[in-house]
Amino acid sequence: MTLSEEGKVIAEHYKILQSGELGIGFALMAAQRYLSRQHPDRMVSIAPADIVLSAGWRARGQYRPQYFAELWKPGKPSLVLPIACKGNHSNAAYSYGQLAAASAHVEAMHIGPYDETPALVFSTALPKDGPATIHALQATGTGGWLHGSHAQAVSLDDAHTDEHFYPDIKQPTEDGKPPSSVTGFHVTPERHGWFRRVLARTSAAGLTAFAGDGSAAYQYLTENQGRKHFTGFAHAAAGTVRDAAETILGIDFLGTDHVFRLNGVRVEAFSGVAEDLLRLLSKGRVEQYRQEVYERRFAWPSSSWDNSWNGPVSVHLDGSVLAMRLLP
């Protein structure tokens, strides 16, 4: 991968923004592929940590991960890993410093036992000359599991509520000393069911927003999570009139499209979700959506080009698609 001529002369502040966004993209793709190989019987969903945590904590300026990877299977406990990712246009030495800084963000999140939460940190180097390199570190641990009878009894179809947890992590003590704590986010066992529901419904909000269905996204978020941003906007794809409908690689998708210019060339981008799955999500049926998408996880096409669309396409295991093509 190389920068275009336009990219080589772009302003320094934009280069920082660019490396950060590309670093996130490469890191999350690497995380999904790695975790899918480590846990082939599970789906991997990525949810933005800021939105998830805002449903339970109001801490400002506190270190936190950027994303959560939820490894789920219908009827089974979920495994959740905090993720922090950074990017740069420098070299490996700079990436090592970014990895060290990223570790502080994932260490501020504990799920289950103290100091046992597995996590992933990434730093993607995008030097001016040379290939892109993803540096990654994994912390192992026995935590991260959302288990217990209460967590499994929770229905993902039911709305979650805003909570007001104090941002602290309880540290174990010895010899009967009073417990101490450090600032951070701790999902203790009694919060497992609530946290599992927040994760699943936040992921559903991301999918429906990706397809342009604001009314569906609204139902999956709380006030603290920013559902007001979807007030008054309903995408036609989930209603009686379709704003954008495409058949890609033989699958009917509903979604939205955008036209933009790339170095002066007009490009169309379509983002959507398989029609039957988007219908389920628009009706709030997260449990049924997860069951069906899990059963179809090996059935999605792997081709990266659709001749009838006349452009590159990417179909994800969650039923979403991103397709692009040049316009005259």
Rg from Cα positions in the chain? 21
Buried b / exposed e along 161-184 (16+ C-beta atoms within 10 A)? eeeebebbbeeeeeeeeeeeeeeb
Same domain, 194 and 252: no
φ, ψ dihedrals at 76, nearest 5°? -125, 155
Q: Is residue 225 domain-resident? A: no
Same domain, 69 and 184: yes
DSSP one-letter code for 263: T
> Please, is 322 exposed, middle or buried when counting C-beta atoms within 10 Å of its C-beta (0-12, 13-18, 19+)?
middle
3-state helix, strand, coil in the chain (%, to 5): 35, 30, 40
* pLDDT attached to residue 28: 97
In this model, does residue 235 exceed pLDDT 50?
no
Largest Cα–Cα separation, the chain: 75
Q: Give 119-173 pLDDT, tens digit per residue.
A: 999 999 998 888 899 999 999 999 999 997 767 789 999 999 999 999 999 888 8
For residue 6, count other CB atoms closer than 10 A to its CB. Answer: 10
Same domain, 104 and 178: yes
* pLDDT attached to residue 288: 98
Q: Is residue 13 domain-resident? A: yes
**Rounded CA separation 170/106 (Å):** 16
Q: Is residue 291 domain-resident? A: yes
Q: Is residue 96 domain-resident? A: yes
Q: Give 207-224 pLDDT, tens digit per residue.
A: 999 999 988 999 999 999
Q: Are 328 and 260 in contact (CB under 8 A)?
A: no
Q: Give 60-81 pLDDT, tens digit per residue.
A: 889 999 999 999 999 999 999 9
Q: Is residue 138 domain-resident? A: yes
**Rounded CA separation 5/218 (Å):** 41
Same domain, 282 and 316: yes
**Rounded CA separation 49/63 (Å):** 11
Which has more confidence, 198 or 6? 198
Same domain, 186 and 305: no
Last residue of a domain, one of 197, 212, 227: 212
Same domain, 182 and 254: no
Q: Write down the pTM of the prediction.
A: 0.90
In this model, does residue 307 exceed pLDDT 60?
yes
Same domain, 91 and 193: yes
Same domain, 169 and 25: yes
Same domain, 57 and 158: yes
Same domain, 47 and 116: yes
Q: Give 110-121 pLDDT, tens digit per residue.
A: 999 999 999 999
Q: Which residues contact 127 (CB under 8 A, 6 or more apart)?
A: 89, 90, 91
Last residue of a domain, one of 212, 245, 265: 212
φ, ψ dihedrals at 227, nearest 5°? -65, -15
**Rounded CA separation 228/56 (Å):** 17
Same domain, 64 and 199: yes
* pLDDT attached to residue 200: 98
**Rounded CA separation 218/225 (Å):** 10
Mean pLDDT of the chain: 91
Q: How many domains does the chain have?
A: 2
Q: Is residue 221 domain-resident? A: no
Same domain, 124 and 171: yes
Q: Is residue 230 domain-resident? A: no
Q: Which domain holds residue 53?
A: 5-212
Q: Are 305 and 298 in contact (CB under 8 A)?
A: no
Last residue of a domain, one of 212, 243, 260: 212
Q: Is residue 217 domain-resident? A: no
